[in-house]
Structure formats: structure tokens, C-alpha cells
């Protein structure tokens, strides 16, 4: 992932490397190999944290400044395919898995992890537009409510 301040690289040994434009390269190891990375904006409008989904169903919140895992959520044992911040602050994260499960995770979420619904295939991309979720599954885009039911809006 390329940011205005540097690059975040996921290595095949489950290491996440931060290569800033100015400063020393830093790294942190997560529990499993990364499958997807999402950058989160901090108060200064710059990406200061990344959310890293892994191949064993983990969602890791990593601080770029300290290169440490701030929090970890486990949504199951299926690879995380897509991530989407539900707000600008990134307080909760929408997670799409290989097995079609869609979750919401975060410190403010009851039980920290909530299974929202199941799809008939992997969610390769997630996006929140208004009150609807836009989910890409291969060449098909679905527009659904937060319960997984088709929305009245057409894709």
C-alpha cells in the first residue's frame, strides 16, 4: 500500500513493513500472512494506522508510528478478502471473508465481533454508500442492507 508518507508492504512470513519516505524502516509480525490491507486516517488527515486482514480470519490494527499491533479481532477461520471503515475515524471495520461471511469488528461493537450476514460467495470488495452496502463478488455487484437483504436501490 502506497501512502503520501511511505509504503506498507506485507511479506510472505506474516511481517508488515513500514517504509517511510523520511526515517527508518520498521516492521511488525502478525499471526498469519496478510491477505488485505486498509489504511486509516488519523486526526491530522494522514494515514497513521493500517488494518490488516489475514488468511486465517484475523483482523489486525497496526500503528504505523510504533509498528505494533494495537488490537486483533478474529472473525472465524476463513481468509479475510475485503475491509471497509464504517466511519472516517475507523472505529469499526466491515470485514468480508472468503466463505461469504460479512462481519463488523471494533472496540465499540458488542462482543467486539458481530456476524452481520452470509453471502453465497466471497466478498472481494465492500463499500458503504449511505445506508447501503455495495458488495463486489467477481463481476457482480450487490447492493444490500446491513442485514444482507437486497436494497431497494439497484446497482
Walking along the chain (155 residues) 10 residues at a time, the average pLDDT comes out as 94 97 95 96 91 98 96 96 83 95 94 95 92 91 90 63
Residue 114 is predicted with a pLDDT of: 95
The fold adopted by the segment(s) 2-144 is Methylamine Dehydrogenase; Chain H (2.130.10)
Residue 91 is predicted with a pLDDT of: 84
Least Cα distance to 127 among 82, 79, 74, 66 occurs for: 82
| CA distance linking residue 80 with residue 125, whole number of Å | 11
Residue 153 is predicted with a pLDDT of: 62
What count of other Cβ atoms lies within 10 Å of the Cβ of residue 144?
A: 19
- Pairing mode of beta strands 101-105, 113-118: antiparallel
Residue 103 is predicted with a pLDDT of: 96
Question: What are the residue boundaries of the structural domains of the chain, listed by start?
Answer: 2-144
Q: Look up the pTM and report it.
A: 0.92
Amino acid at each position: 500500500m502506497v501512502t503520501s508518507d511511505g509504503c506498507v508492504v506485507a511479506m510472505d512470513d506474516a511481517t508488515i513493513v513500514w517504509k517511510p519516505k523520511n526515517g527508518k524502516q520498521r516492521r511488525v509480525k502478525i499471526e498469519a500472512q496478510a491477505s488485505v490491507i486498509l489504511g486509516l486516517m488519523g486526526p491530522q488527515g494522514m494515514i497513521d494506522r493500517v488494518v490488516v486482514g489475514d488468511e486465517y480470519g484475523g483482523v489486525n490494527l497496526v500503528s504505523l508510528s510504533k509498528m505494533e499491533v494495537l488490537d486483533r479481532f478474529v472473525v472465524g477461520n476463513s481468509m479475510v478478502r475485503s475491509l471497509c471503515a464504517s466511519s472516517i475515524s475507523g472505529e469499526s471495520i466491515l470485514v468480508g471473508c472468503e466463505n461469504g461471511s460479512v462481519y463488523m469488528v471494533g472496540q465499540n461493537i458488542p462482543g467486539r465481533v458481530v456476524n452481520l450476514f452470509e453471502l453465497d460467495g466471497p466478498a472481494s470488495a465492500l463499500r458503504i454508500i449511505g445506508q447501503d452496502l455495495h458488495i463486489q463478488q467477481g463481476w457482480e455487484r450487490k447492493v444490500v442492507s446491513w442485514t444482507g437483504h437486497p436494497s431497494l436501490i439497484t446497482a
